[in-house]
Amino acid sequence: MKTLNCTLAESECKLLLEAIASLETQWGQLCAQSDDPDEISDFGNDLIELRLLAKSFSEQAVSVFGENVLHFGREQL
């Protein structure tokens, strides 16, 4: 299997984590609302892979940047 290693700033990491979380929500809703078994199966399998990616990526991000990297709010701190 080929792999890709890249260097990300905290802000870039937050953007990717937020995008992954958004996609997870969309695919989860699609699986819950669809009547098409093939669609449910396809998105369900992809959702499993996405959740595995999210877990690994978020753990690595937290170890480097801290828990704040998982907070996606736009309000001023």
Q: Where are the domains of the chain?
A: 11-64
pLDDT band at residue 77 under the 50/70/90 scheme: low
- Amino acid at site 39: E
Asked if 65 and 10 count as a contact pair (C-beta separation under 8 A), the reply is yes
Q: What percent of the chain has pLDDT over 90?
A: 92
Asked if 44 and 28 count as a contact pair (C-beta separation under 8 A), the reply is no
pLDDT tens across 16-51, in order? Answer: 999 999 999 999 999 999 999 999 999 999 999 999
With H, G, I as helix, E, B as strand and everything else as coil, classify residue 23.
Answer: helix
pLDDT of residue 2: 96
Torsion sign, CA atoms 69, 71, 75, 77: negative
What pTM did the predictor assign?
A: 0.87
